[in-house]
Amino acid sequence: MSDKGTPNCGSIKEFKVHVDRWSTYMSRLKAWFTIHDIKLASQSKYLVAVNTWWKIICHRGRSVIAERMIFRSFKQIEGQSISDYLVGLKKLSKACKFSNNVALKENLRDQFVYGPP
């Protein structure tokens, strides 16, 4: 039970760009609002922030910063081979506009240190 005497139904998991579907995430978020009796005014503030973030990520003219955030958030999925993970990283790196091949290799290396489970 929470401090207000209502059942504690946990928190909503963060949206993972390369794993989750946006529509499923939004459905879960709306259900979470309902379960926790979050008033519409509070929902609106949160949804505006989330939708603004999503538009930045999905806009066709995405910024380099958004592309690099997607690259950095890419994690190796359990059971995924190293070569498949590398292919995914290289695909994402194309939109990152790293300044040269050295910068690309350094970022790929860093992601291998950071990305695998």
User: Could you state, in order of their start, the residue ranges of all structural domains in the chain?
Assistant: 1-58, 64-114
For the chain, give the mean pLDDT.
76
In this prediction the pTM is 0.49
Given a cut of 60, whether residue 8 has pLDDT beyond it is no
Pick from 90, 94, 89, 93: nearest CA to 115: 89
For 67-90, what is each residue's pLDDT tens digit? 888 888 888 878 888 898 889 899
Cα(107)–Cα(115) distance, integer angstroms: 11
Instruction: Say what percent of the chain tops pLDDT 70.
Output: 68
pLDDT at 108: 93
pLDDT at 80: 82
pLDDT at 115: 62
Q: Is 94 exposed, middle or buried (0-12, 13-18, 19+ CB in 10 A)?
A: exposed
For 84-109, what is each residue's pLDDT tens digit? 888 989 998 998 999 899 999 999 99
Q: Residue 115 CB: number of other CB atoms within 10 A?
A: 17
pLDDT at 1: 37
Query: Any alpha helices (H) in 1-117, and if so which ranges?
Result: 22-35, 40-58, 64-73, 82-93, 101-114
Q: At what angle do helices 64-73 and 82-93 cross, to 10 degrees?
A: 170
